Amino acid sequence: MIRGVIFDLDGVVVDSHPLHEEAWRSLLSEAGLDHSFDPGFIYSGLSRREILERYLGPLSEPEIHGFGQRKDEIFSGLVHQVEVQPGLLRVLHQLRAAGLACAVATSAGAGRTHELLGQLGIAQHFQAVVTSCDVRKTKPAPDVFLEAAARLGINPHEAVVIEDSVAGVQAARAADMLCVGYDRGEQAQALRNAGASDVIADFPGDMVSYLQQVADSISISQRRD
């Protein structure tokens, strides 16, 4: 039985990927790495530390903090351009009307996460918000999703995760949660390979019925196995 839905932030709740790409390009350009940027890597759901060290090599905690702070400053200058994903507000209202709790679970930091949700006026739709600052390990570890479920007061197997990254799908499956991939590009097969039960390019018209159908199909498959 589904009792809660946990959403990833970037690429699922908000259409922020183009702005993150611009912010990372600017940051790496300032560090003299104009020609080494790989957009696909930053969308893979990895932590900020992993992204920074991928391009800059091993870094101390003060260096991680400094580069991270600068990236946030650049992103904050662009944040007014961020929009909620099409159909999300309708989905959130549907889930609330059906008595399903909603949470955000992200590898992003607390400051940027709450800034985005507040600016877009959607923070009140989520009963829990879990960021990288709340857990020891980020995706693909299951920590953020397990913490989100705990804050919602539900068991992991009662949650459905909506994710757009391979690391996020892996984290959801590691948490023993049903996962639906969200992809508006070319990652659909990669999300399925990582363990997504289904992949959508847009939110369904009736999200509650859709999620129940996905859950039912998994139950039938397990019974056959």
Q: Is 202 a catalytic residue?
A: no
d(CA 111, CA 80): 15
Give the 3-state secondary structure of the chain.
CCCEEEECCECCCECCHHHHHHHHHHHHHHCCCCCCCCHHHHCCCCCHHHHHHHHHCCCCHHHHHHHHHHHHHHHHCCHHHCCECCCHHHHHHHHHHCCCEEEEECCCCHHHHHHHHHHHCCHHHCCEEECHHHCCCCCCCCHHHHHHHHHHCCCHHHEEEEECCHHHHHHHHHCCCEEEEECCCCCHHHHHHHCCCEEECCCCCCHHHHHHHHHHHHHHHHHHC
Which residue of the set 8, 72, 143, 183 is catalytic? 8
Catalytic amino acids?
8
